[in-house]
Amino acid sequence: MLTQDDCKHAAYSTTWAAINGKPLSNNYYYGTEQLAAGDLPPDAFNLDKTLGSTDGAGNEVRFVFTTTISPEWDWMDDKTSVNREFNKDYYRFYMKSGLTWNNLSEMLAYDTGIERFL
């Protein structure tokens, strides 16, 4: 079992993304709103597969993990800036203080487990 502590933004844009075949970046982070809009970091790349195995009958079983959340912290309510046309700088792809509720919602839809960070 893998647990990613400290409610980090990387739990979404690195760990969850790698497991589920979503884009990765060596230098930046993104949120669920940016992924949905195709507003990705300039160095985004794909592994072109998911991380998992088969159940013996050829059905894919994806690897899942657990992450912590910090519901009492205001940064979980942070909004993600989406701007596909802007490339003067990439501040919108810098690491946030932690996971946002929107990122967590998408992760839960893919069976990511959660525990409260104290």
Q: What is the mean pLDDT of residues 40-65?
A: 88
In this predicted structure, the answer to whether residue 118 has a pLDDT above a threshold of 70 is no
Q: Which residues contact 56 (CB under 8 A, 6 or more apart)?
A: none
pLDDT over 70 percentage in the chain: 97
Instruction: State the CB neighbour count (10 A cutoff) for residue 12.
Output: 27
pTM: 0.88
pLDDT at 23: 97
